[in-house]
Structure 1
Amino acid sequence: MKKIAPCLLIVLFLSCSESKMSGPSATSKIVIESFYGKDEAALKANSTPQAYSNYMNTINMFNVAKKDNSNFKVLRDTIMGEVAWVKYTTDYDKTPGLFKLVKQDGEWKADARGSKDVSPF
């Protein structure tokens, strides 16, 4: 037992130290990768109807070679009640992107930004 306890503590420490995305950040990653990968089912499942319509109108304008790893990195994120904002970078684009997400039925969905929407960053 004395030999197992230190091993378990090390495994516990390593598993807790890994950076795992969840919530709006995880949804943002799914949406950006499904957009560039042209995965319409995943895009629809993780977007509001208006955002999905917008994505489908522009999806074919991008002829990006699918990459094994998008290198999605969250620069900043914030949750304000039922609305979240995620600023991110990927290997798909040289400039940082920004997602507005809303909580619907307990899940975060990418939403279309309106002209009156002001990003907190």
Structure 2
Amino acid sequence: MKRVLLYSIIIALVACNEKQMSHTETAKIVAESFYHDDKATLEKYTTPDIYANFITIQDLYSGEEEVNFEISEEQSNDQTAWVKFTTTFTDEPETFKLVKQDGQWKVTERSEGERPPF
């Protein structure tokens, strides 16, 4: 019985250690990993369809410069979020659509004709 209680406490502590990131933190990590050629992080925080798209064009933008990620607008509900931002590498703001999968925000591809809410 003591062993079961001990294992339960250990599992609870490990589960609490994993920080749930917000949609804006996730968007920043994806932008930085894209521009710094960090494919492992990029894959972790994107859905498979958008990851494949990012990898296709990543070589055009990779660099060691500071990204300077700045959010200009954001909107979210329980399962979907939108983050509009600028970086050092773009003249115009970009927008990420994020969805929650297994409790974690991931950047995903927009549906055809889908527009951001702002």
Q: TM-score, normalising length from structure 2?
A: 0.77
Counterpart position of 1:88: 85
Displacement, 1:73?
Answer: 0.8
**Correspondence 1:21-60 to 2 at 5 A:** 22-60=21-59
Displacement, 1:81?
Answer: 2.9
SS in 2 for 1:65: coil
Once residues 97 and 54 of structure 1 are traced to their aligned partners in structure 2, the CA distance between those partners, rounded to angstroms, is 15
Aligned 8 A contact 2:83 2:97 in 1: yes
| Structure 1 unmatched runs, 5+ | 1-21
Aligned length: 98
Counterpart position of 1:65: 63
Q: TM-score, normalising length from structure 1?
A: 0.75
Once residues 44 and 87 of structure 1 are traced to their aligned partners in structure 2, the CA distance between those partners, rounded to angstroms, is 20
Deviation beyond 2 Å, 4+ runs, structure 1: none
Once residues 63 and 39 of structure 2 are traced to their aligned partners in structure 1, the CA distance between those partners, rounded to angstroms, is 16
SS in 2 for 1:93: coil
Once residues 45 and 25 of structure 1 are traced to their aligned partners in structure 2, the CA distance between those partners, rounded to angstroms, is 15
Question: What's the RMSD between the two structures over aligned residues?
Answer: 1.3
| Structure 2 unmatched runs, 5+ | 1-20
**Correspondence 1:81-120 to 2 at 5 A:** 81-120=78-117
